[in-house]
Amino acid sequence: MNNAIRHTWVVSVGMFLALFVALSLTQVVFTDSLNSDPRNSRQLIADAGAPRGPITVDGTVIAESVPSDATQYDYQRVYQDPELYSHITGYFSVVTPGPNQSGIEYALNDYLSGHSDAQFFDRITALFTGDTLMGAQVELTLDPELQRLAYDLIPENERGTIILTDLRTGEVKVMMSRPSYDTNELAVHSGSQFQENLERLEEVEGLHLNYNVATNNPIFPGSVFKLITGLAMLNSGDYELDTELENPSELELPLTESTLPNFADGGCAARPEAELNWIFAQSCNTPFAAAAMDLGEEAVLEAAEAYGWNEALRIPIYVQPSRFPEVADDAELARAAIGQGSVTATPLQMNMVASAIGNGGTLMQPQMVDTIRGSDLQILNNPEPQVLNDVMDRSTADEFTEMMVTTVEEGTGWRADSSRFQVAAKTGTAQRGAGDDMVNSWITGFAPADDPQYAVTVVYEGIDMSRGNELTGSQMLTMLEAVIEE
């Protein structure tokens, strides 16, 4: 009987050995394939709770991962001054999970999470030492003081964007859009809390959570588009600054019943015929529409694409293409020539126009990243200023500068006139379609005109026309006087 008991014991131990073998297969041998199975949410949780590198501006942290013990996620993403930077950083949520697509969190996810090619050896090291893999630190080109100034300038209940770039290098110093929001509310670990906050924020009028307004919201540009039509005109060689042009108060559009008017309250009505410089400064519509129809679609399209229209960019935030689509007929081309019809522009695209002109015709690639450093502070990426396109030659740029200075000194851009330096600018007021009293109010330009350094673009979307004119011009001036030293 005891022998039988011993046999039973041996069989039992054999069964346990089978368990040990199976356990070691599951827990040691096949862990890689099990861990990488797409149905394994643990990897997602591990990734979502992993420490991400910080995002900094001028050395100050605006986004960082702090250890969190309250939930299954190891780290909590925390945003400083979130209202100032929500459109820049976007948010990183463990719920969705991952960064939303609007900002740096998404655009540089590989670096921030430590999974970029440059961090390959960090990953290997972390694998062997068992240390937590730390993401790279991203230093942005933004200027925190100017960013705050821009935030304070844009009124609470308006949809406004202010961009300021160094036109010599393409570095973005300010990129502020309101309404803004607290990104921390969407970085919460609780799914129900996230959902609740998301629904509340989605109700906010004019707030876009999923894209950066300055780079991803193409709207009607209005008269600032004359910088493009104007380039087509100057390039053709048929137009000089002092070329006298007809300036009728209305232009009949071919094959239609409708007409294209000059603005009634502008100074355009004063002169039925005027030189290009004056027409530009007063932003008269009819001469530009007529010129566009003379030059044809190709010429205008070419000018637009030279500035970057119809092309996406990564700075590294995604920049949606501003559109200059094929036009059906001359009537549509005429409307497009003054920034209406089917033409759209993002605030950044328009800022690139002013930058190109200010930089003597050379358009620098806009750039938001100053340096990317590994967790050991070693520089992983340090973007150099890069020429995006040679838009025009220097003489054409100089002609534009002269017209834009005239615009500020004698024309529609008078609110941006500075006592300290010459400002070059172009205003625009775009109608938003039938039945909408509100307009898109634009100004874009640069200063100082004799030694251009910074380009500024101020846009208000869907604003009362006179309020828009007041805000854009004066705010451009405020920004320029703040950035350009005495």
Partner 1 sequence: MATQAEAHSRPRRNIELVLLLLALTIGIGAQVLVGLTLEDTIDERYYFEGGAQAALALAFHVVLRIRAEYADPFILPIVVTLNGLGIAMIHRLDFTTRYEGVADRQLMWTGLSMAAAMLLLVLLRDHRKLRQLTYLSLAASVVLLFLPIVPGIGQDIQGAQVWISIGGMSFQPGELAKITLAIFFAGFLANNRDLILLAGKKIGPMTFPRLQDLGPLFLAWLIAMGVLIVQNDLGNALMFFGLFVAVIYVATSRISWIVIGGVFVAVGALLAYQFVWHARNRFDIWLNAFDQQMYDQDLGSHQLVQGLFGLAHGGLTGTGLGSGSPQIVALANSDMIIVAFGEELGFIGLSGMLVLYLILFSRYMRAGLGTRDHFGKLLAVGLAVVLVLQVFVVVGGITRVIPMSGLVSPFLAAGGSALLANWLIVAVVLLISHAARRPIVVGPMLNTTGAGASGTEDPLRGRDTGEQKPVDDGTQQFPAASSSERDGGEQQ
Q: How far is the CB of 201 from partner 1 (least distance, A)?
A: 24
45 lies in the binding site for partner 1 (CB under 8 A): yes
Nearer to partner 1, 5 or 264 (CB): 5
Instruction: Judge residue 364's burial from the number of C-beta atoms within 10 Å of its C-beta, 0-12 exposed, 13-18 middle, 19 or more buried.
Output: buried
Give the x-and-dash track for 237-276 against partner 1 (CB under 8 A): ----------------------------------------
What is the Cα–Cα distance from 329 to 324, expressed in whole angstroms? 14
- CA angle (191, 193, 194) in 5-degree steps: 65
Q: Which is nearer to partner 1, 44 or 387 (CB)?
A: 44
Q: Quick one: 7 or 394, whose CB is closer to partner 1? A: 7
Q: Is 312 in contact with 320 (CB distance < 8 Å)? A: yes
Strands (E), 2-49: none
- Between residues 73 and 106, which has the closer beta carbon with respect to partner 1? 73
Beta strand 55-57 pairing with 137-140: parallel
Q: 429: which strand partners?
A: 441
Site for partner 1 in 3-42 (CB under 8 A): 3-9, 12-13, 15-16, 18-20, 22-28, 30-31, 34-35, 37, 39-42
Interacting stretch for partner 1, rule CB under 8 A, among 1-9, 92-100, 229-237, 381-389?
1-9
Q: How far is the CB of 1 from partner 1 (least distance, A)?
A: 6
Residues 52-71 that bind partner 1 (CB under 8 A): 69-70
CA 383 – CA 8 distance, rounded (Å): 72
- Give me the least distance between CB of 61 and partner 1, in Å please: 24
For the bound state, the minimum distance from the C-beta of residue 115 to partner 1, rounded and expressed in Å, comes to 19
CB of 132 to partner 1, least distance (A): 12
Task: Map the footprint of partner 1 across residues 307-366, applying CB under 8 A.
Answer: none
CA neighbours closer than 13 Å in the CB half-sphere of residue 125? 11
CA nearest neighbour of 248 among 272, 268, 228: 272
Question: Do 315 and 366 contact (CB within 8 A), yes or no?
Answer: yes
Residue type, 336: A
Q: How many residues does the chain have?
A: 486
Is 419 a binder of partner 1 (CB under 8 A)? no
Residue matched to tokens 């500024």: 456
Give the torsion sign (CA, 476, 479, 481, 486).
negative
Q: How far is the CB of 182 from partner 1 (least distance, A)?
A: 25
- State the minimum distance, in angstroms, from the CB of residue 53 to partner 1: 22
- Nearer of residues 34 and 198 to partner 1, judged by Cβ: 34
Closest by CA to 217, choosing from 308, 84, 347, is 347
Q: By CB under 8 A, is residue 1 in contact with partner 1?
A: yes
Nearest distance from C-beta of residue 40 to partner 1, angstroms: 4
DSSP 118: G
On the 0-12 / 13-18 / 19+ scale of CB atoms within 10 A, 41 is: exposed
Residues in binding contact with partner 1, number by CB under 8 A: 37
Residues in contact with partner 1 by the rule CB under 8 A: 1-9, 12-13, 15-16, 18-20, 22-28, 30-31, 34-35, 37, 39-42, 45, 69-70, 72, 74
